[in-house]
Amino acid sequence: MSKTVDKDIKNWKWVDDQVDAIIKYLDKIDFEPVLITGVPRGGLIAAVMLSHKLGIDYAPLTTCKMLPKKLRKKTLVVDDIVDSGVTALKLADEDFTIASLCFRTTSKYKPFAYGEKISKDYWIVFPWEIEESETIQDYLAS
């Protein structure tokens, strides 16, 4: 029997507010990325939004992985959520700077910049997803 998990349905205003929170934090610490990229699939939309708002070029993650270490450190990799922290930790180990719209306080990794901190156990449904989505990450389903 599968566990029933509550869902928190996010709207576009929430996404925009989290993007603005990331920008505000970057301004506060005077960090200006040289490139922005996104984690496929969830981070792509937020990465493009940040790219437009900051006027910084977007590049695919696969291209950014070929950059020298010095440029990877100044490349902002965006994801929708740092949940378990596995993806973010792997990218941080590759010398990228990580941002996310939100992150779980139970994560193995705390992103460099983020919007909302989540301490409750519920499934987040982003506006680009369907409400009927499974409450498990794709790679854990099989």
pLDDT in tens, 106-125: 999 999 999 999 999 899 99
Q: Hey, what CATH class is 7-129 in?
A: alpha beta
Report how far residue 80's alpha carbon sits from residue 118's, in angstroms, rounded to the nearest whole number.
13
Domain boundaries, the chain: 7-129
Supply the pTM of this predicted model. Answer: 0.90
How far is Cα 60 from Cα 112, in angstroms, rounded to an integer? 20
- Residue 139: the pLDDT is 46
Burial class (CB in 10 A: 0-12, 13-18, 19+), 103: buried
CB 60 within 8 A of CB 71: no
The alpha carbon of 1 is separated from its chain's Cα centroid by a whole number of angstroms, namely 31
> What are 94's two structure tokens?
């590759």
The answer to whether the beta carbons of residues 96 and 64 sit under 8 Å apart is yes
Structure letter (DSSP) for residue 58: B
pLDDT tens for the 142 residues of the chain, in order: 455 678 999 999 999 999 999 999 999 999 999 999 999 999 999 999 999 999 999 999 999 999 999 999 999 999 999 999 999 999 999 999 999 999 999 999 999 999 999 999 899 999 999 887 676 555 455 5
